[in-house]
Amino acid sequence: MIAKKVQTLIDEGVGISRMFLDAAAMIAELGVENVYNFSIGNPSVEPPEAVKDAIISELNTQKPMALHSYTGSYGYADVRKAIADHENKNFGTNFGPNNVVMTVGAAGGLNLIFQILLNPGDEVITFAPYFSEYKCYAIHMDANLVLSGTDENFQPKLDEFEAKINEKTRIILINSPNNPSGAVYPEETLKKISDIAVKKSEEFGAPIYIIADEPYRYVAYDGVEVPYLPNCCKNAIVANSFSKSLSLPGERLGFLVIPSDIDDYAAIWNACNTVNRTMGFVNAPSLIQKAVAKCLDAEVDVEGYKRNRDLLWQGLVDIGYECFKPQGAFYLFMKSPIEDDWEFYEMAKKYQIVLGPGSGFGGPGYVRISYCVDYDMIQRSLPKFKELWDEVQSKK
pLDDT at 303 (0 to 100): 94
* Cβ proximity of 156 and 127 under 8 Å: yes
List the one residue out of 321, 303, 311, 300 whose CA is nearest residue 377: 311
CB atoms within 10 A of CB 56: 11
For residues 251-284, one letter each, b for 16 or more C-beta atoms within 10 angstroms of the residue's C-beta and e for the rest, the string is bbbbbbbbbeebeebeebbebbeebbeebebebb
Q: What's the sign of the alpha-carbon dihedral 113, 116, 120, 121?
A: negative
Q: What's the sign of the alpha-carbon dihedral 66, 68, 70, 76?
A: positive
Q: Which helix H or strand E contains 197, and what residues bound it?
A: helix 187-204
pLDDT in tens, the chain (396 residues): 888 877 877 776 656 778 788 888 888 888 888 899 998 888 988 999 999 999 999 999 877 777 888 999 999 999 999 999 999 999 999 999 999 999 999 999 999 999 999 999 999 999 999 998 999 999 999 999 999 999 999 999 999 999 999 999 999 999 999 999 999 999 999 999 999 999 999 999 999 999 999 999 999 999 999 999 999 999 999 999 999 999 999 999 999 999 999 999 999 999 999 999 998 889 999 999 999 999 999 999 999 999 999 999 999 999 999 999 999 999 999 999 999 999 999 999 999 999 999 999 999 999 999 999 999 999 999 999 999 999 999 887
List the one residue out of 81, 40, 56, 10 whose CA is nearest residue 291: 56
**For the sheet containing 209-213, what is the strand order?**
100-103, 254-257, 236-241, 209-213, 169-175, 123-127, 144-148
Between CA 101 and CA 79 the distance in angstroms is 10
* Cβ proximity of 244 and 272 under 8 Å: no
Between CA 148 and CA 382 the distance in angstroms is 33
Between CA 373 and CA 74 the distance in angstroms is 35
Phi then psi for residue 36, to 5 deg, are: -100, 85
N-term to C-term CA, the chain: 47
User: What are the helix (H) ranges across 279-349?
Assistant: 286-293, 302-319, 341-349
* Cβ proximity of 385 and 377 under 8 Å: no
* Cβ proximity of 77 and 290 under 8 Å: no
The three-class DSSP label of residue 290 is helix
| Residues contacting 187, CB < 8 A, separation 6+ | 225, 227, 232
- What are the strands, taking DSSP E only, across the chain? 36-37, 100-103, 123-127, 144-148, 169-175, 209-213, 236-241, 254-257, 322-323, 331-335, 353-354, 356-357, 366-370
Domains contained in the chain, CATH given: 4-47+300-394 (3.90.1150.10), 49-293 (3.40.640.10)
